[in-house]
Structure 1
Amino acid sequence: MTAVDAVPTDFDWRTYPDPPIAPILAAALTHFQQDGYHGTTVRKIAAEVGLTMPTLYYHYGNKEGLLFALLDIAMDDFWAHGHACLEEAGTDVQKRFENFISSVALHYTHRRDLAMLHDESRFLGPDFRVKYLERRNMVNEVLEGLIKDGVAEGVFDVDDSHLTSLALLGMLGGILDWYRDKGPLSAADIANRYTRYAVRIVSKPAAA
């Protein structure tokens, strides 16, 4: 059982209603998307939501605090869906793998605005960065564990589960480079296709 299995949930992991984001954070998210982390000023965010600078600093400390709060929302949302997809699959090791791959792909499509901030985590200071990486690194740990489970049960044929997990996450992360919500493929279509690609990578070769 993975660490994320300890998180309870009771919703359909394939659905993505708007996450609860406070107005201050919603404004920060918009400016981070438009201007980048360094191009965004706290003064501009405060003015947009009608707050004084001291009030904003009271709630989030500084711009780094705003970024961390948004990344925390992104990871909360990811793990809620991640746990639910594993729970639905039960003990079926291939289904658990397929669902988890799909949930990562859906995070990068349905939550693209938040997911784009993962790269901005490099601007976090040491304390915030450690907290964030603990949660983000768990994604690889869970996926690697699912691959190992598949190998142990004779379902997958993988020599290096760690490198394979990193390669799969790299492939999935590429969705952010090209996905647009007005494109020809729906988020579900993309998740299904990437899941099929992932299964091919870890599956045993077909008998000659």
Structure 2
Amino acid sequence: MTTVADWREFPPLQLHPFLLGALEEFARHGYDGTSVRTLAQRLGVTVPALYYYYENKQAMLVALLEHAMDRVISYVDAALADAGPDAESRLRAVVEALVLYFAHYPDLAAMDTERRSLDPANLAAYIARRDEAERQLRDVIGDGVADGTFSTPWPYECTRAIFTMCQGISKWYRLDGPVGPSEMAQRYVQLALAMLRTAS
């Protein structure tokens, strides 16, 4: 599991150069649109050299998705450790951590869309890790509903909606845009809180 020293800091990804190259190619051309030969040429190595480190293209995708889940779960864990004990403080921390992660590592986050290319065993393993990340948010919302902090009658649906809303940041947000990541995170916190305070 990745260790996060400061959940508001996002240093360059520490990945094997082959994985960094694969990430860039997958993000630009998609998993299916990237050949191992093209990737090897980009990296300046032979195909056998690439296979020495990773069994095949699928293994590279699996490694990227595992790294993505390690990072997002670690960031949320660190944010929760830094938050107050009340449900609203914890919710704010989770949403802020998710938005910041998806804003700073959009290519890594976008690998989620490539899960359709995983074989059944790898897909099941990935979904389990993704559910773990979503469970962090679900537990906070569930606690808030239980103690009356949140009034929504649909905690499960809110969990899915908030997680998906945060994840969508990676598809359109730009760090050099008019709204900084910290401000955008606070806007999403307010959107999440508004959703959770809706009564039937």
Sort the TM-score into its range (normalised by shorter chain).
Answer: over 0.9
Unaligned stretches of 5+ residues in structure 2: none
State which of 13, 21, 38 in structure 1 corresponds to 2:7.
13
* Secondary structure of residue in 1 paired with 2:31: helix
Whole-angstrom distance in 2 between the partners of 1:40 and 1:23: 16
Task: Return the TM-score normalized by structure 1.
Answer: 0.89
Q: Percent identity?
A: 36
Equivalence for 1:91: 85
Is contact 1:75-1:136 (8 Å) kept? yes
Question: Moved runs in structure 1, 4+ residues, more than 4 A?
Answer: 7-10
Contact 1:8 1:83 in 2 (8 A): no
Q: Deviations over 1:92-136 (max 9, x none)?
A: 221111100111111210011101111111111112111111111
Which residue in 2 is equivalent to 1:120?
114
How far is 1:204 from its partner?
6.2
Q: Tell me the equivalent position of 2:129.
A: 135
Q: How many residues align?
A: 199
1:202 aligns with 2:192: no
TM-score of the aligned structures, taking structure 2 as reference length = 0.93
Corresponding residue for 2:61? 67
Contact 1:28 1:66 in 2 (8 A): yes
Aligned mate of 1:186, from 171, 180, 184: 180
| Corresponding position: 1:45 with 2:45 | no
Does the CA-based 8 Å contact 1:46-1:53 persist in structure 2? Answer: yes
1:23 to 17, 32, 39: 17
Quote the offset at 1:73 in angstroms: 1.3
CA gap of 1:22–1:199, structure 2 versus 1, over 3 A, is same
**Unaligned 5+ runs, structure 1:** 1-6
Letter in 1 for 2:16: A
The CA distance in 2 between the partners of 1:170 and 1:61, in whole Å, is 32
CA distance in 2, matches of 1:83, 1:130: 23
The alignment's C-alpha RMSD in Å is 1.7
Q: Retained in 1: the 8 A contact 2:2–2:70?
A: no
- What is the SS of the residue equivalent to 1:39? coil
User: Conserved in 1, the CA contact under 8 Å of 2:105 and 2:170?
Assistant: no
